[in-house]
Amino acid sequence: MTQPDLRSMVRGAAGILAEAGVPSPEHDARALATHLLDVPHLAYAPAELPDDFRADFAALVDRRRRREPLQHIVGHAAFRHVTLAAEPGVFVPRPETEVVAQHGVDAALAVAAAGREPLLVDLCCGAGGIAVSLAVEVPGARVIAVDASPEAVALTRRNHAANAPEDGAGVRVEQGDVRDPALLADLDGTVDVLVSNPPYIPPDAVPNEPEVREHDPDLALYGGGADGLEVPRAVVLTARRLLRGGGVFVMEHAEVQAAAVRAITSAAGFVDVTSFTDLTGRDRGVRAVAP
């Protein structure tokens, strides 16, 4: 089997994925082919393809056609400057959260520029995208990551080990519930930056995308309460307790929750409470400062 055969198969796979409603069929078809061939780009594919490539590729395309997340099929997800292992049972990191992480990184770098080693916390860490990015992008930072899911805790530890800078201070990962008033009590009033992408979907707002609805764990999706903001409210209160004066709080939320989240954050005593937009210009996060 030759390179022209490969290009033809990838085009055919993209057509199959498009018919199935996959949002990025061409990208995903290429990603499945490069994963199977273990090359970074189709340009690096061997001139002669393995004899079993056609059957194996068809099997992967069928999994994606049935809307199994691409990240689960290939086993990893790109997030900012790192590659994270992705697996069933743990929330798949997504591009919009990269913007949330950027706000945390910027705030942490400002602390470092002032001559202090930043103490950073990632609540509801999932696969560890934010925590690992903070550790990689903010030299000398101390990072603590927390999630209620033991699977997420284990995966964050693995992702940190796979991406940790040689001179990094490391990431402390703990299992815990943000609604616990004693969570990280040893850090009360000492944290410089706290970032969170908590579950926030209301119970009646089932996600449209099968990749999310059928494969991401409910624990990572639904925020509790009629408005989905039970867990985010707990995150806000925990942030208020942990952050030092002048510390920065950053949290992702749904677009329709922007006003409510600003109100919750202000009521907790934060100042300079503002919304920020995601890659599509929608209000998807809040940034605030502890007084």
Binding region = 147, 197-200
Q: How far is residue 211's CA from residue 220's CA, in Å, rounded to a whole number?
A: 13
Q: 211: how many CB neighbours lie within 10 A of its CB? A: 19
CB-CB neighbours of 55 under 10 Å? 9
> Any idea what DSSP says for residue 93?
P
| Neighbouring-strand partners of residue 204 | none
Both tokens of 260, joined, read: 């409510």
Q: How far apart are CA 10 and CA 2, in angstroms?
A: 13
Q: Which residue has the tokens 């090359």?
A: 39
Residues 155 and 87 sit within 8 Å (Cβ to Cβ): yes
Report the 10 Å Cβ neighbour count for 172.
15
Longest dimension (CA), the chain: 65
Single-letter amino acid, residue 145: A
Binding residues for S-adenosyl-L-methionine: 147, 197
State the Cα–Cα distance between residues 223 and 209, nearest whole angstrom.
Answer: 18
Which residues are annotated binding-site positions for substrate? 197-200
The CB density around residue 159, as the number of other CB atoms within 10 Å, is 30
Token match 């979907």: residue? 201
Other C-beta atoms closer than 10 Å to the C-beta of 23 total 10
